Structure 1
């Protein structure tokens, strides 16, 4: 298996990385954040989202510049996964504030709410009642439109380009 993720078995480490991120989400001491440390909570959330956004933008730019030294087929999905987990952690921590959310009590609830919002399904079983919860939900929707849509588009373009290259190499064109 190559570290770049190519070749046979190249999917093992990205799947392991995604599993480690999910495990980290469920194991990190997120209870240290919340209403008793609002400054730290907001700082961690904003810093994490900013770092992931910058990393996504770098990948998008690299795909558009057709750079060959990157692996967007691995990096972009992992960054998208990390985006979901950061929002889920933010929701979980924010739900510790009285009156912010109805129905969001566990980390799984936070992950579920993030996915429902990302998918624009909105079942209504978890609702953001407080102003901060509504603000973070709005931020996630904007983040989804701007960063995740651009990342998915770049990833699609990269896959299409690689498929075209492989088809041309098989036909000898």
Structure 2
């Protein structure tokens, strides 16, 4: 990626993280507000999953597409699960232990993505465990595939540009 592409990816990641922190989610909602908030979080996660899968499928059809869309989609997938984890934690406080802030949610989502977690924040309720199982499968199947594809195509492009010189 050239300098402009790196800037677009970096700006997109900063924007996604900023949106994660400012999206209106409040503890203590119940009834219809809780249902609407939970459905909105599900739609956000489903949209992020669809975006990542779409970007991967595009890359599999053509290796000449810009890579920044896939990079941003991978970040969006991780942030979507951070938001879902946070929504569950504040809506149903017994579902997660140690997850009470948005930073906790982002930390948990990323530690689940890159490791199996550290144990300081963990799912304690059945609903949260189901969410985390889905999150781990998504991380392994979708995000790992996308990251591998991104790295392989970037490497191939670097090699091709070196051969042309």
TM-score (norm 2): 0.87
Cross-structure match for 1:115: 110
Correspondence for 1:3: none
Structure 1 pair 130/75, CA: closer, same or farther in 2 (3 Å)?
same
CA distance in 2, matches of 1:129, 1:26: 24
Matched length: 163
Distance 2:73 2:45 in 1: 10
- Out of 31, 35, 40, the residue aligned to residue 39 of structure 1 is 35
Matches within 5 A, 1:68-79: 68=64, 70-72=65-67, 74-79=68-73
- Give SS of 1:30's match: coil
Determine if contact 2:86/2:100 at 8 Å carries over to the other structure.
yes
- Residues 26-63 of structure 1 show CA distances to partners (whole Å, capped at 9, x for unaligned) of 11102279654443234223322222222222222222
How large is the RMSD of aligned CA atoms in angstroms? Answer: 2.0
For residue 63 of structure 1, the aligned residue among 59, 65, 76 is: 59
1:7 to 1:40, Cα distance in 2 relative to 1, 3 A: same
User: Structure 1 residue 7: deviation in Å?
Assistant: 3.8
Based on CA coordinates, which of the two structures has the bigger radius of gyration? Answer: 1
Cα distance change on mapping 1:53 and 1:98 into 2, 3 Å: closer
Equivalent in the alignment of 1:18: 13
User: How far off its partner does 1:156 sit?
Assistant: 1.7
Q: Which stretches in structure 1 are left out of the alignment for 5+ residues? A: 1-5
**Unpaired segments of 5 or more residues in structure 2?**
none
* Gap change, CA 1:75 and 1:25, over 3 Å in 2: same
> TM-score, normalising length from structure 1?
0.84
Deviations 1:50-104 (A, max 9, x none): 2222222222222222253x312x1122111111111111111111213111111
Check conservation: 2:48, 2:80, Cα contact below 8 A: no
- Which segment drifts farther, 153-162 or 36-45? 36-45
Deviation >3 Å, runs of 4+ = 6-10, 32-38
2:138 pairs, out of 125, 130, 143, with: 143
Counterpart residue number, 2:45:
49
